[in-house]
Amino acid sequence: MTVDGMSKLEDYLSAKGKIDGSNSRLLREAAYERLYEAIKHAQLQPGEPLSETRLSKALGISRTPVREALQRLAKEGLVQVIPGRAITIAAPSIQDVFDAIHVRELLEPELVRLAAEAMPTEEKTKMLSLTHEMERAAKAGDRPRWSKADIKWHETLCNACPNHLLGEMVMQARNRIFTQAADEHVPEQYLIEGTVEHLQIVQAILNGEGEKAKQITLDHIRNVRENMVKRFFQY
């Protein structure tokens, strides 16, 4: 039996426990953080419907902070809110996808260079471990597993960047198209090729070669764009 996206979210949120507290601002922030994490890691497909009522029940709080959190997530491109009608996982248009890739192309290579120069050893080790997890997932053709490791890989990278604003901007661009990585139509070969490029970036970071990591990242993002062109226009 296929498990719907909303049930996946409920299971993920329930495993984290209820949110405690009564301060409206803190509840709103806690709801946002929980939903942000859950939506990115529950492997949902674009357009899947969400229920404000069921989310509030899973979080153990009223609907108001949940609604405010969803509105914030909508601004960041993770969900779409149609007033009076529906809340769904964002389904980015083709233009949205290429706009986000363009932003990544402009910003992410420099982020990688900065992160490579500032990243602690334990974070470098974590990135290498996540890359190996991506390798195993790619060989098994397991897109959801690959996507989970990829999300954590990029979160680790962005968090390691000493320019926190740059890290936030890159993550926001990625968030707008995060569902693409777990898309069941992504060819397995793309996962394998992408993993090799991630490993090359990590190896450059481990060697303290920030400029090399920057160039590999730029090449990787351009390959992502080319693969998206092939997927959307099928040639």
Positions in the chain short of pLDDT 70: 1-3, 43, 179-185, 234-235
Q: What is the 3-state secondary structure (H, E, C) of the chain?
A: CCCCHHHHHHHHHHHHCCCCCCCHHHHHHHHHHHHHHHHHHCCCCCCCEECHHHHHHHHCCCHHHHHHHHHHHHHCCCEEEECCCEEEECCCCHHHHHHHHHHHHHHHHHHHHHHHHHCCHHHHHHHHHHHHHHHHHHHHCCHHHHHHHHHHHHHHHHHHCCCHHHHHHHHHHHHCCHHHCCCCCCCHHHHHHHHHHHHHHHHHHHCCCHHHHHHHHHHHHHHHHHHHHHHHHCC
| Gap between the Cα atoms of 88 and 69, Å rounded | 14
pLDDT of residue 180: 63
User: How do the domains of the chain map onto residue ranges?
Assistant: 5-89, 94-233
Domain 94-233 CATH superfamily: GntR ligand-binding domain-like (1.20.120.530)
d(CA 10, CA 159): 27
CATH number, span 5-89: 1.10.10.10
The pLDDT of residue 231: 79
This model's pTM is above 0.85 = no
- How far is C-alpha 163 from the geometric centre of its chain's CA atoms? 19
pLDDT in tens, 96-131: 999 999 999 999 999 999 999 999 999 999 999 999
